[in-house]
Amino acid sequence: MKKKLLSVLLAGAMVFSLTACGDGDSQSSSDSASSDKQTDTTESSSGDASGDTASSDTASGDTASDPTNGELVDGKFTETRKITVEVYNRENDGGSDPTNNKYTQYIKDKMMELHNVEVEFVSVPRWTEVEQINNLLAAGDAPDICLTYDFATIQTYANMGGVLNLSSYVDDYKDLLPNMWEWLGETNIYCDKDPENGNLWAIEGKLAVTNRINTFVRKDWLDTLGLSEPTTRQEFEDMLIAFRDNADKLLGADADKLIPFSVSYDVGWRAALLIESFIDPDISDYEFYVNGFDDRKLTQNGTKEAVRLLNKWYNDGLMWDDFALYGSGDTTEDDMMKAGYVGAFMHNWDYPYRNGEDSIQSNLERLVGPDAAYVAVDCFEDSKGTHNKFVNGTTGDRKIFFPSTNDEPLACMLYLDFISTPETIEYLQIGDEGITHNKLEDGAIEIVAATGDDIQNSGFNIDYTITCNGLKLVDPEVTAKSTAHSYSGIDTALIEKANTIANTDARPSKPVNVGEITSAEGQGEALAKKRDVLLDTAVSAPVADFDSVWDSAMADYMSSGGQAIADERAEKWKATFGDATMLP
Amino acid sequence: MKASKQNAVNTKAPVPQNKQSTGVYLKRYWQLYALLALPMLYLLVFKYIPMVYIQIAFKKYSIIQSVWEMPWAANNGFEYFIKAFNNKDFINALRNTLVLNLMDLIIGFPIPIIFALILNELVFKKFKRVVQTIAYMPHFLSWIIIYGLALQLFAPSTGFVNMILTGLGFETVPFLNDSSHWRWTYIFLGVWQSFGWNSIVYLAAIAGINSELYEAASVDGAGRFKKMWHITLPGIKSTIVVLLVMNLGNILGSGFDRPFALQNNLVMDVAEVLSTFIYKYGIKSLQFSMTTAVGLFQSLVCVIFLLLANWISRRLGERGIW
């Protein structure tokens, strides 16, 4: 009996799956012509829908010159509206609930008071944000205000009809959004506007600080060995060799744990300054753009030679052997820095000083001694002897988009306006006086490490100030004075030095907008993973095999989509700018 | 197909003849069917209804439309199958899945059998029980934990095993960061994790063998190995065959957590398997249609293998799984 039942079930499953396939065949072959029509109708109907809203807006605008149709009285909705906002969850030790704490309460209260809008936060894990948003969008549960760092991802959602077109909202409601327009300006608001059809799928948050990456070395080790800070690539290499050869002197019993230069699996980011120093400083905007799909500059001319040098260092025992074995978000490498085993590394311009008590620098002082310090150095010269650092302009940070399930676009635009207000940004960044900051005599703000409900889960609460990344106080003079004081427990001289070096020869990239690059759709993650694999295997290959490993992996990268994207970028550039090789 | 025809004949025949006896039968056993209802509901809701979405392999996926509204894909709906087979990463993942699963089968399949045989020969019952418990404990560890352990043991510079090796004057062994070594590490960890658990079935089968057979063999002067070879192994042969058939049915399948947790950037050329490929291209890169096509292809191949293996086992005079 059991056997029979099982066989019936299995047979049923087979038949079911076969018919499913069969249906697919027959219908698609007979309907292949009409399927096109079907898409047409769905597209046009959605087009109509958006046209309707637009026309109703303009109509009401004509009659009462009020784009909101009388929904707002004194900036407040007559009936309470409800919106949901994405916030990253970083799961810090001792952190607070990112959806419910002192700062979210501040935002909620203010939004209710100013606009009669109820705000609810939806937390998304920081390190798997893209996957989480995919799932939420597919389930129709995405927050009304979403953000991500990758515009290609948003474009993919938009092509599926999953994203609201913001172009009419930013323009029609312009008078209602003075703070947003004031802070972001046309540069950031129109940054991703499609030049052909005017679609605007996302608004770019603004970088208040454009500093990007610095190189850090152990100052106390240099002193112990009687070395001065490296100023050239060669001196940097000599320093690494000195660290390696004097491991006994520097770490004693732990000598075998010493790592002269540390990178993570993300070599392109963690050796960025070295890689960029191999790029021709006179590179044209055209070449930089066409080869610039990969944000780690994998396909720029020069990167291969930079990685060849890393490969040499790796094989000379100057780098961390296990760098490729630990994934994103793993703290092993940070822990080694904190424990004092790492001689040099590259990272965000203020990386060792972030996170107050738990910063790398504070841990180092506790575990190794008060003299131990990571200090920023500027030692990767390019072919002209300058220290070119390719930094983003004010764009290139988080992109904010509204999924098509958002039925409160106006309330959400008002939220963006509120979150861009100078006073809001200042409060979220520095909190209350005496608790999270002190005023110094010269008027500068000094950040104090907080605990409990006052704790900021992200530096300057960047996760809440979604339109602003980097310290930005109401008074720009105070901001300038405060930067060095905004890292609690860290010697201000270290910050000032890091800040100066990060700004030396900084080269802001100019945003290029030539319309959608269709061949890039759905390729971002797959190619980024390929890039990491390529860089990791190339760095750790035997020196003699470097060329063959690099060339074959690069050929694979290009044929898996890299070449198609470069070609389309070249083509679209020509269509937009003609033969010009520099941006206007 | 043959099987289903047979069934059709079987089920059709008795019904009109003994309507009454069916009623009696149902009246007597309805509780058993009621017990079955919940699991069947589970299967229906979580395994069958989601199959409606298999269609997206043949349709242009949209994140907001219902599956019935999505337009059909190009090339008679087979656009995404063509795309997948033109994708080098897919071919590579297919190869890796086959290689790793075959290695798993060849090495991992006999080990629980041997372990069960050896365990069965142990005289001290308590010792046997302790060994058995320890052996199947790793089964309850998640692969993330196992990878953590593997890193502590096998990492090139900080791994315990490599530290011992270098301490003894040997070279470090790239257990995790060299492609060919990684394959063996992957197989070894898989065997370590599952052999104890998998041996339970065989131990149960061995326990079911009539002990008179052993006594008779002893009288005839058979030694331990003779008894193992002529009584125990034939006694559990049908169990072995059933499990082999089921394993063959899974030749293109693979769990997600094991390869995903164990792989790293240096060994992706051998470590990328279909399940991680689907995750990377489907979930992370939003190419849901193509990865559904890959998943469907994977399932079809698995079904074919299952049917084939079952057919062969029946031809060889075994019961098979149905």
Residue of B nearest to A327 (CA): B264
A43 band by pLDDT with thresholds 50, 70 and 90: very low
**How open is the CA angle A420-A183-A514, to the nearest 5 degrees?**
115
Say whether A28 and B88 touch across the interface (CB within 8 A): no
CA distance B115 to chain A (A): 30
- The shortest CB-CB distance from A134 to any of B4, B286, B299 is to B286
**pLDDT of A8 above 80:** no
**pLDDT of A96 above 60:** yes
Say whether A160 and B7 touch across the interface (CB within 8 A): no
State residue B17's pLDDT score.
Answer: 52
Number of residues that this document lists for chain A: 584
For the entire predicted model, the pTM comes to 0.80
Cα separation, A541 vs A550, whole angstroms: 9
Q: What is the ipTM of this complex?
A: 0.81
Write the burial class of residue B318 (CB in 10 Å: 0-12 exposed, 13-18 middle, 19+ buried).
middle
Residue of B nearest to A561 (CA): B87
State residue B15's pLDDT score.
Answer: 47
State residue A57's pLDDT score.
Answer: 40
Say whether B303 and A14 touch across the interface (CB within 8 A): yes
State residue B9's pLDDT score.
Answer: 44
Say whether A325 and B151 touch across the interface (CB within 8 A): yes
Q: Pick the residue of B2, B76, B264, B285 with the most A CBs within 10 A to test the interface with A by mutation.
A: B285
Q: Residue B266 maps to which CATH number?
A: 1.10.3720.10
Share of chain A above pLDDT 70, in %: 88
Helix A303-315 to helix A524-540 angle (10° resolution) is 50
A584 band by pLDDT with thresholds 50, 70 and 90: confident
B130 band by pLDDT with thresholds 50, 70 and 90: very high
Residue B241 within a domain: yes
Residue B322 within a domain: no
State residue A66's pLDDT score.
Answer: 63
Say whether A325 and B54 touch across the interface (CB within 8 A): no
Share of chain B above pLDDT 90, in %: 43
Summarised one tens digit per residue, pLDDT across range A360-375 is 999 999 999 999 999 9
Say whether B63 and A160 touch across the interface (CB within 8 A): yes
What is the count of residue pairs from A and B with beta carbons less than 8 Å apart?
Answer: 144
Closest to B107 in 3D by CA, of B198, B203, B190: B190
Q: Pick the residue of B144, B260, B286 with the most A CBs within 10 A to test the interface with A by mutation.
A: B286
Q: Pick the residue of B72, B83, B163, B245 with the most A CBs within 10 A to test the interface with A by mutation.
A: B72
Q: How many domains does chain B have?
A: 1
Residue B287 within a domain: yes
Instruction: Tell me the chain A residues in contact with residue B76 when contact means C-beta distances shorter than 8 Å.
Output: 25, 28-29, 32
A42 band by pLDDT with thresholds 50, 70 and 90: very low
Say whether A156 and B286 touch across the interface (CB within 8 A): yes
- The shortest CB-CB distance from B285 to any of A25, A404, A526 is to A526
**pLDDT of B122 above 80:** yes
Residue B75 within a domain: no
Residue B263 within a domain: yes
A442 band by pLDDT with thresholds 50, 70 and 90: confident
Summarised one tens digit per residue, pLDDT across range A275-331 is 999 999 999 999 999 998 888 999 999 999 999 999 999 999 999 989 999 888 788
B287 band by pLDDT with thresholds 50, 70 and 90: confident
**Which domain does B228 fall in, by range?**
81-141+189-315
Summarised one tens digit per residue, pLDDT across range A503-519 is 999 888 888 888 888 88
**pLDDT of A487 above 90:** no
Summarised one tens digit per residue, pLDDT across range A216-272 is 999 999 999 999 999 999 999 999 999 999 999 999 889 989 999 999 999 999 999
Three-class DSSP category at A445: strand
Say whether B264 and A325 touch across the interface (CB within 8 A): yes
**pLDDT of A25 above 60:** no
Say whether B285 and A522 touch across the interface (CB within 8 A): yes
State residue B181's pLDDT score.
Answer: 93
Neighbours of B63 (CB within 10 A): 22
Say whether B264 and A327 touch across the interface (CB within 8 A): yes
Q: Pick the residue of B265, B305, B306, B308 with the most A CBs within 10 A to test the interface with A by mutation.
A: B265
Closest to A332 in 3D by CA, of B148, B5, B138: B148
**pLDDT of A477 above 60:** yes
- The shortest CB-CB distance from B71 to any of A29, A38, A321 is to A38
Per the CB < 8 A criterion, the answer to whether A447 and A430 are in contact is yes
* DSSP string covering A236-250: HHHHHHHHHHTHHHH
**pLDDT of A540 above 80:** yes
- Over residues A436-452, the mean pLDDT reads 86
**Cα separations in angstroms, B26 against A8, B32, B39:** 18, 9, 19
Residues whose CB falls within 8 Å of the CB of residue A137, separated by 6 or more in sequence, listed in order: A157, A162, A403, B63
Mean pLDDT of chain B: 87
Say whether A10 and B286 touch across the interface (CB within 8 A): no
CA distance A534 to chain B (A): 8
Beta bridge partners of A76: A73
- Over residues A152-172, the mean pLDDT reads 90
State residue B12's pLDDT score.
Answer: 45
Return the structure tokens found at A445.
Answer: 């703000």
**pLDDT of A430 above 60:** yes
Residues whose CB falls within 8 Å of the CB of residue A113, separated by 6 or more in sequence, listed in order: none
**pLDDT of A22 above 70:** no
State residue B7's pLDDT score.
Answer: 45
State residue A7's pLDDT score.
Answer: 52
State residue A483's pLDDT score.
Answer: 87
Share of chain B above pLDDT 70, in %: 94
Q: Pick the residue of A321, A401, A539 with the most B CBs within 10 A to test the interface with B by mutation.
A: A321
**How open is the CA angle B193-B199-B201, to the nearest 5 degrees?**
130
A153 band by pLDDT with thresholds 50, 70 and 90: confident
Cα separation, A37 vs A375, whole angstroms: 63
A429-433 own/partner pairs: CB under 8 Å, 24+ apart: A429/A460, A429/A461, A429/A465, A429/A471, A429/A472, A429/A473, A430/A460, A430/A473, A430/A486, A431/A102, A431/A103, A431/A456
Instruction: Tell me the chain B residues in contact with residue A335 when contact means C-beta distances shorter than 8 Å.
Output: none
Residue of A nearest to B88 (CA): A560
Mean pLDDT of chain A: 86
Say whether A325 and B158 touch across the interface (CB within 8 A): no
**pLDDT of B170 above 70:** yes
Cα separation, B224 vs B246, whole angstroms: 30
Residue of A nearest to B285 (CA): A522
Identify the DSSP state of A347.
E
Amino acid A490 reads I
Which of A27-31, A181-185, A326-330, A461-465 has the least mean pLDDT?
A27-31
Residues whose CB falls within 8 Å of the CB of residue B22, separated by 6 or more in sequence, listed in order: B14, B15
Q: Going from the N-terminus, what domains does chain A have, and what CATH number goes with each?
A: 72-209+395-424 (3.40.190.10), 213-391 (3.40.190.10)
Say whether A17 and B264 touch across the interface (CB within 8 A): no
Say whether A161 and B62 touch across the interface (CB within 8 A): yes
A21 band by pLDDT with thresholds 50, 70 and 90: very low
Residue B167 within a domain: no
Which of A96-105, A441-450, B227-236 has the least mean pLDDT?
A441-450
